[in-house]
Amino acid sequence: MAQAKVADTMSKIPQEWVLDQADLEDAKKQRRLSGPFIEKFLDKGELEVIRDDSMSLVEKVKSSQYTALQVARAYCKTAAIAHQIIMFDKAFEHARELDEYFSKHKITKGPLHGLPISLKDQFHVKGTDTTMGYVGWIKTYEGVNDPEKVHCVESQIVQELLSLGAITYCKTSVPQSLLLGETVNNLIGRTLNPVNQLLSCGGSSGGEGALQALRGSSLGVGTDIGGSVRIPAAFCGIYSIKPTHDRFSYRDVANTNPGQNTYPSSVGFLSTSIDGLKLIMTSVLSTQPWLRDPEVIGIPWRQEMADAVLERASSDGAANNRLPLKLGVYWTDGVVGLHPPISRGLRMVRDAVEKAGHKYSNGQLAFLKADGAHDIHKQLNLSGEPLIPDLEDSFQLRDPINLLKYQDLTLQGRDYSAAYSDYWNATANGEDGPVIHHS
């Protein structure tokens, strides 16, 4: 099944974009695939497109410097070289529809008109597999052969992106089960870091990080529970944000242990620019997702709050003496210490923050395994695939914890949230606010 899936993916790549064997062998010898190596397969016009950031691309489509189809082809070709899960035919069809709409009405369909957006293989798109790294999910709906749902369900956030004029064109790789800071599964193997193939691309949104490092995408959608958009962004040299959970819709999005809501996952975003993150957040919130998903908190984008933070520093980062920023520095989780180079890097950031006139505060600080890994093994048993070695120590099958224990852990989680809220507010004083939130 896995081999058939790989063959199906390759069959969707236009023949003129398929690399020959010599190029593939050359790629294996490279430490770095991003930059000059991948760029040699693109023409001048395609390079100009993929080097642009998301905001600039939207403006150039709006001003007719680019067509939506031109942008889609450049990103699809780069994604094909990066070898992700391909949806190019639908992307080209949608791009042509957007160009026709713009030609007829002389206005864009929305703030994301003509912008290709990649999706972590957790989001459902009509007509396309969602595998979440499981062999047994191929050509099913989350492992179930339900003809009313297979390839028929679409995640709410995907619908919102399409309504805003975005072009969905590829899905990116994830680790089996999502519960790993690497990206490896039995479908396509391990996704490496294109900046340095000797290093990890991170996870669980690792395919997104790798694709954006190659400039095969300028903006993508992932999810994050314990670092799943932040780790790949840090490893691959891009930007990401994990919003507070329930800020964006998780409706009809696949997940591991979907019934576990004490330690919730968030829909998050990755981009090659900070402006790209703001663009997608403001755009999606403009659709009022809380009207379609009751779990989403009904709060629109609040520009005045963003402006209030920006006013606390000048354009060169220097502090506003009246109200400087205050940032938390998190040195340890109390279990594992930092490697010396990482500690040195954090100290450099802390010192730069202080030199710019800002302040800092030293940060202080089971539910994923509560079901005894039964959900994960249920998905593995669909095809008989093995648990990947990276997960063997943590997710062997065992008895779930009992209900009373789970409820007790839930109460402990609430107590921790309250205690951390009190600590957070205690970092404020009469002259400045609390430590700036990371999301």
**What is the token pair recorded at 250?**
């998780």
The CA distance from 248 to 258, in Å, is: 16
Given the residues 118, 155, 177, 204, select the one marked as catalytic: 204
204 counts as catalytic: yes
40 counts as catalytic: no
Token look-up 């035919």 returns: 89
The CA distance from 98 to 109, in Å, is: 7
Q: Do residues 116 and 217 make contact, with C-beta atoms less than 8 angstroms apart?
A: yes
Q: Which of 217, 232, 270, 216 is nearest to 82 (CA)?
A: 216
Q: Which of 279, 273, 270, 272 is nearest to 215 (CA)?
A: 272
Q: Do residues 321 and 353 make contact, with C-beta atoms less than 8 angstroms apart?
A: no
- Per-residue b/e over 103-133, b at no fewer than 16 CB within 10 Å? eeeeebbbbbbbbbbbbbbbbbbeebbbbbb
Q: Do residues 259 and 297 make contact, with C-beta atoms less than 8 angstroms apart?
A: no
Given the residues 177, 228, 266, 283, select the one marked as catalytic: 228
Given the residues 5, 77, 109, 120, select the one marked as catalytic: 120
126 counts as catalytic: no
The CA distance from 263 to 248, in Å, is: 16
Residues with a known catalytic role: 120, 204, 228
